[in-house]
Amino acid sequence: MTLREFQANIERTYGRRDAARGLAGTFLWFVEEVGELAEAIRLSDAEAVREEFADVAAWLVSLAQIEGIDLEDAVTAKYGGGCPSCGGCPCRCEDPSRPLR
């Protein structure tokens, strides 16, 4: 499934509920899922990590959908050519410890 297909699937499945909850409420659920992912990583629970990554992705897609953003287009526009700062793939930025996103 492509990112666009995933976004459409999440919209079909949860779109009405997400819209009713709104951006702020949906963002709170997203943050909760990020916390659950952090806990799974801390516990080194591989199956939980896998499931929580899926949940985080689903909630992120819901946020994009509420805002009318085609996430596949947004990701391609920013990262499709490699690093958005230096254009390299792999990144050739001076300080690799500093996130550039």
CATH of the domain at 58: 1.10.287.1080
3-state secondary structure of 10: helix
Query: Tens place of pLDDT for every residue, the chain, 101 residues?
Result: 999 999 999 999 999 999 999 999 999 999 999 999 999 999 999 999 999 999 999 999 999 999 999 999 999 999 999 999 999 999 988 876 666 55
DSSP string, 46-74: HHHHHHHHHHHHHHHHHHHHHTT--HHHH
Non-local (6+) Cβ contacts of 99 within 8 A are none
Q: Which conformational region is residue 75 in: left (phi greater than 0), alpha (psi within -120 to 50 degrees), or beta?
A: alpha
The pLDDT assigned to 98 comes to 66
Query: Is there a domain that residue 86 lies in?
Result: no
Q: Is residue 93 part of a domain?
A: no
How high is the pLDDT of residue 94? Answer: 82
Domain carrying residue 10: 3-69
Q: Does 9 fall in a domain? A: yes
DSSP 13-29: HHHHHHHHHHHHHHHHH
Query: Into how many domains does the chain fold?
Result: 1
